[in-house]
Chains A and B, each alone.
Chain A
Amino acid sequence: MTLNLDKPIKFSPLHRLQWEEAQQKDVILYPEGMVELNQSSAEILKCCDGTRNLDQIVSELELKFATSGLKNDITNFLEIALKNGWIQQNQ
């Protein structure tokens, strides 16, 4: 499974992304498990709302953090996310 560059990316409805006050961290929750996220991973996943594809997510985040050259890091993380089933590309 590899990331499709054109299709929009959506956070999986079988998982939940939520802020945990006790840990001061965003986490992904799924059946009987939890993954703690660092801030940048969480920011990427929050952009996966099913309307944006990879390039759009990259420009959104580069704009938000007033920086450039994020594409590699974001792509690498999203590949992992796809493999773990955290994100989907349906249409």
Chain B
Amino acid sequence: MAGSNKTNSTPPRWLLAELTYACPLQCPYCSNPIDYANYQSELSTEDWKRVLSQARKMGAVQLGFSGGEPLTRKDLVELVKHARDLGYYSNLITSGYGMTETKIVQLKEAGLDHIQISIQASSQELNDHIAGTSSFDHKKSVAHLIKKHGYPMVLCVVIHRENIHQMAQILEMAEELGADYLELANTQYYGWAHVNRDLLLPTKEQFQQAEKLAQAFKDRVAGKMKIYYVVPDFYEDRPKACMNGWGTTFLTIAPDGVALPCHSARELPGLDCPNVNDYSIETIWNESRAFNFFRGVDWMKEPCLSCDEKSKDFGGCRCQAYLLTGDMYAADPVCSKSSDRAVIEQAIDSAKTASAISTNEKPLIFRNSKNSKIMTRN
């Protein structure tokens, strides 16, 4: 059975601290769980400090403060300071909403290393529509302030059918804002993006065109700006090596203290993800059922089990396998060796059909507490 024999585990290197599910924005591709409104409790400042200390002791060095919107936590500066004292490299992953120059300075003094700001599109109208909140001009001014105060800046733009046609302008905007890194994150279809997939998934032609622009841009700005291109795996024939292998590198702590081997693991049944209020990070990482569940290759079944690529992609994403095939032990259906590959083709077709009908008939479902409650009731 999965999880019964422990594989030698490497220590965590990456800690993602999801400080809160609160967020003033409503992105319809948000990776937070659909039922996030059911998790109201949040760890205290002292809890977070303990978690940070324990994970650092094991060897975690990259730390992401995310959410929701981490700026809504009043103790953010205090936590950043604690992280700096421990020797973490801290990344703030923010929508920029609610950021002020004073905050930027305070965070810098506390020892924050880097800020990743997300912008939804290259025009105000579309940005504000996708974010569900008027935020475009403010985001741009925050981006300027981030550079003014000497941070390395990652500009993150999640790419989907509503904004993919703006690729050229998005690249221009990244240059104008002085981004050191541009993350072009093709939407990954979990959480809210899964629900909205018909309206978000671009066509293959759109992908190819956008990718070509991004590639040419990458060559042109080499040495000035780095591009992280998150591939659209629906148009690949091999899955991504999710999480660099389950329980090998990444540790996510959800706002209520639940420890997750991947940030969508909450959606998988029967994992029993442990809470940092009950166990130490060391026990969670080494001993817990959840973190051992898909460690190594013993849990696999065919075609992965006898596949010579299994140490390359680890069978792909468990959450994607579960969401799309109903079987979390199955090969990621993106793989052309998977007997379920047809579900990906169906998703692509279904999105193509939806793009032909008017958006009024099937509106985007925005990420907010009201929708979260409605969708988890039935």
Residues of A within 8 A of B (CB): 1, 13-16, 18, 20, 22-23, 27, 29-34, 83, 85
Checking A1, A14, A20, A30 against B59 with a beta-carbon cut-off of 8 angstroms, the contacting residue is A20
How far, in whole Å, are A30 and B154 apart by their CA atoms in the complex? 11
Q: Are B152 and A22 in contact (CB under 8 A)?
A: no
Report 17 cross-chain contacts, Cβ distance below 8 Å, ordered by A residue. Answer: A1-B223, A13-B150, A18-B87, A20-B61, A22-B58, A22-B59, A29-B61, A29-B89, A30-B152, A31-B116, A31-B154, A32-B91, A32-B114, A33-B62, A34-B13, A34-B61, A85-B223
User: Nearest Cβ distance between residue A28 and chain B, in whole angstroms?
Assistant: 10
Whether, in the assembled complex, B113 has its beta carbon less than 8 Å from a beta carbon of chain A, the answer is yes
Chain B neighbourhood of A34, CB < 8 A: 13, 61-62, 89
Determine if A31 and B180 form an interchain contact, defined as CB atoms under 8 angstroms apart: yes
How many Å lie between the Cα of A20 and that of B89 in the bound state?
Answer: 11
Contact of B61 among A15, A27, A31 (CB under 8 A): A27
Q: Is B217 at the interface (CB under 8 A from chain A)? A: no
Cβ distance B143 to chain A, nearest Cβ, rounded Å:
14
* Binary per-residue interface labels of chain B (48-74) against chain A in the complex, 1 for a CB within 8 Å, 0 otherwise: 000000000011011010000000000
A-B pairs with beta carbons under 8 A, tally: 46
A25 to B77, CA, bound (A): 29
B181 CB within 8 Å of chain A:
yes
State how many angstroms separate the Cβ of B119 from the closest Cβ of chain A. Answer: 16
Given A23-B59, A32-B62, 18 extra CB contacts under 8 A: A1-B223, A13-B150, A14-B152, A16-B89, A20-B59, A22-B11, A22-B59, A22-B61, A29-B61, A29-B62, A30-B89, A30-B152, A31-B113, A31-B116, A31-B152, A31-B154, A32-B154, A83-B223
Q: Specify which of B58, B113, B154, B226 is in contact with A16 (CB 8 Å cutoff).
A: B113
- Output the least CB separation between A20 and chain B (Å): 6
Interface hub of A18, A33, A83 (most chain B Cβ within 10 A): A33
B180 to chain A: which residues have CB within 8 Å?
14, 31
- CB <8 Å contact, B114 and A31: yes
For the complex, give the distance between the alpha carbons of A27 and B59 in Å.
Answer: 12
* Distance between A23 CB and nearest chain B CB, rounded to angstroms: 7
User: Chain B residues near A27 (CB, 8 Å)?
Assistant: 61
Find chain A residues with CB under 8 A from B64 CB: 32
Binary interface profile of B, 222-266, with partner A (CB < 8 Å = 1, else 0)?
010010100000000000000000000000000000000000000
A23 to B87: give the CA distance in the assembly, Å.
Answer: 14
Within 8 A of A (CB), among B96-141: 113-114, 116
In the complex formed, the residue of A with least CB distance to B12 is: A22
Q: How far is the CA of A83 from the CA of B222 in the complex (A)?
A: 9
Smallest Cβ-Cβ distance to B183: which chain A residue: A32
For B116, what are the chain A residues with a Cβ–Cβ distance below 8 Å? 31-32
Chain B residues with CB below 8 A from A13, complex form = 150
Q: Which of A1, A29, A83 has the most CB of B within 10 A?
A: A29
Q: Are B91 and A31 in contact (CB under 8 A)?
A: yes
Query: What is the CB-to-nearest-CB distance from B265 to chain A, in angstroms, rounded to a whole number?
Result: 20
Minimum CB–CB distance from A31 to chain B (whole Å) comes to 4
A87–B323 Cα distance when bound, in Å, is 44
Closest B residue, CB atoms, query A84: B226
Interfacial chain A residues near B89, Cβ < 8 Å: 16, 29-30, 34
In the complex, how many angstroms separate the beta carbon of A56 from the nearest chain B beta carbon?
24
Q: Output the nearest chain A residue to B89 by Cβ-Cβ distance.
A: A29
Report how far A22 CA is from B226 CA in the complex, Å. Answer: 29
Query: Which chain B residues (146-205) contact chain A, with CB distance < 8 Å?
Result: 150, 152, 154, 180-181
Of all chain A residues, which has the CB nearest B228? A32
Bound form: Cα–Cα A16–B152 in Å: 11
Kindly state the separation between the CA atoms of A73 and B295 in the bound complex, as whole angstroms. Answer: 40
